[in-house]
Amino acid sequence: MNGAMLIETYKSGLQRYSMAELRHQSAPGVWSLGQMLDHLILASLDYFEKVEICAADGEEQTLGKTEAGERLLELGGFPPVKIKLPDGPENNPSNTESKEALLRGLDQVLQKMKDWEERIDPVHPCRKVKHDGFGWLNAREWFELNEMHLRHHLRQKEELEQKAGVRSR
């Protein structure tokens, strides 16, 4: 499933959810569907900002990825495990966004994805921006990380839909 198809999957789910389902948290510390979507949008926009930096004035860097970064890109995705992000405001997405705002955010991600698909190949692979966990990534790797991240959260989406009582409509 490519990035555009992933975004469409998230959008079609979002359009089905009631506001109660969108904001339902099954337990303290467990995200709602709305929070997961807000996280995906913010992370994607951050990744595309890194792509932009690589393209505009990324540091020519001979340093590479961490072992985790190498493994991630070799696998082409995250392993099928839950990842607990460290506590902090940047890892506590909003649970108050409207469906319309989330749809606009997903559309914005989709547009950036389409824009960069056309322009990413000429970006020199030695122009990189550091990822805290994966090391120095170039524009292509940041672009691919976005798709891997969107794919990774599909499992969480299904689990959260079950917990929120979302029915197929």
Show the tokens assigned to 131: 């990822």
**Are the C-beta atoms of residues 146 and 113 closer than 8 Å to each other?**
yes
| 129 located within any domain | yes
| 86 located within any domain | yes
96: CATH: 1.20.120.450
Show the tokens assigned to 42: 């913010």
Range of the domain at 18: 3-164
User: What is the Cα–Cα distance from 165 to 77, expressed in whole angstroms?
Assistant: 28
| 111 located within any domain | yes
| 151 located within any domain | yes
- The 10s digit of each residue's pLDDT in 42-90 is 999 999 999 999 999 766 888 899 999 999 999 999 888 777 777 766 6
**pTM of structure:** 0.93
| 85 located within any domain | yes
| 101 located within any domain | yes
| 169 located within any domain | no
Question: How many distinct structural domains can be found in the chain?
Answer: 1
User: What is the Cα–Cα distance from 108 to 124, expressed in whole angstroms?
Assistant: 25
Below-50 pLDDT ranges, the chain: none
| 131 located within any domain | yes
